[in-house]
Amino acid sequence: MRLTFLGTGTSFGVPQVGCYCAVCRSPDPRDKRTRVGAVVESAGGTRLLLDTPPELRLQLIANSIDRVDAVLFTHDHADHTHGLDDIRAISVRRDAPLPMYGSAATMQSLHDKFRYVFDESMRPMPGTAKPEGHTFIVEPDVPLTIGDLTVQPFTVPHGRFEVTAYRIGPLGYVTDAKSVSESGIALLQGVKVLVLNALFRTSHPTHLSIPEAVGIARQVGAGRTYLTHLTHENFHADLEAELPAGISPAFDGLTVRVE
């Protein structure tokens, strides 16, 4: 299995508009962070897109990805969904709408915001095209099969909201979590690679802090843990140097093989 980080930044992105701090002006390309998204590809070729961030078109081009078999949504916030229209370039080459998975609340919100993507009665005029998606509702702790991949969804709190996290075979993918429950930790036991959001060094009401993410990574015990949803408060190189062994900051374009 292969995991590609399309974007690893917060909802502001890095550099942040109007900010001229050292990180936002950093020449290190690992300090340039678009909004969070990822692609998982199995050994058999099944390719899943995790969220549709606003920079999706540029992210797919940068990583030479021109096909996905389905989209898994974590939640409906703008930084994770407002690139949805960019799947048009993928769906127009399919014989059917692109399958899209998420919680009932997430998918209802996307239907409300992007009705034209899901409403089959809204047909494009001859000579034009539109993105097309077909909804599948995921239930917490109910596994599903997509291609040759087994996906196990579970929920994590995100302030007043719930986010869907996923275990995909030997990979755990958790973003925008404030915490991970004991049952979530148990479900993640045995993963080889774990992805966790990590915002500031101090506590935040809706996101794991870096110390909290490190604590959860130690509980799960994955061979490798990558931190995502990072802000402009850390240089990549500095954060990488201070994190414990086996835990690293991800960066845009990073590809990880998950055995």
Which residues are bridge partners to 7 per DSSP?
A: 37
CA distance 61 to 6: 10
- Does pLDDT of 197 surpass 90? yes
Q: What is the percent of the chain where pLDDT is above 70?
A: 100
CA distance 113 to 155: 23
- Does pLDDT of 95 surpass 90? no
User: What's the chain's Rg over C-alpha atoms?
Assistant: 18
CATH number of 2-257: 3.60.15.10
Tell me the average pLDDT across 136-144: 96
What pLDDT score was predicted for residue 97? Answer: 94
Tell me the average pLDDT across 93-107: 94
- Does pLDDT of 124 surpass 90? no
53, 36 Cβ separation under 8 angstroms: yes
CA distance 60 to 228: 18
Tell me the average pLDDT across 71-97: 95
If pLDDT is split at 50, 70 and 90, which confidence band does 94 have? confident
Q: What is the percent of the chain where pLDDT is above 90?
A: 92
pLDDT in tens, 57-78: 999 999 999 999 999 999 999 9
What pLDDT score was predicted for residue 259? Answer: 84
- Does pLDDT of 125 surpass 90? no
pLDDT in tens, 200-211: 999 999 999 999
What pLDDT score was predicted for residue 96? Answer: 85
Which residues are bridge partners to 195 per DSSP?
A: 173, 226
If pLDDT is split at 50, 70 and 90, which confidence band does 27 have? very high
Give start and end residues of each alpha helix (H) in the chain: 56-62, 78-81, 88-91, 104-113, 115-118, 182-188, 210-220, 236-242
If pLDDT is split at 50, 70 and 90, which confidence band does 169 have? very high
CA distance 213 to 198: 6
Strand, helix or coil for residue 67:
coil
pLDDT in tens, 8-21: 999 999 999 999 99
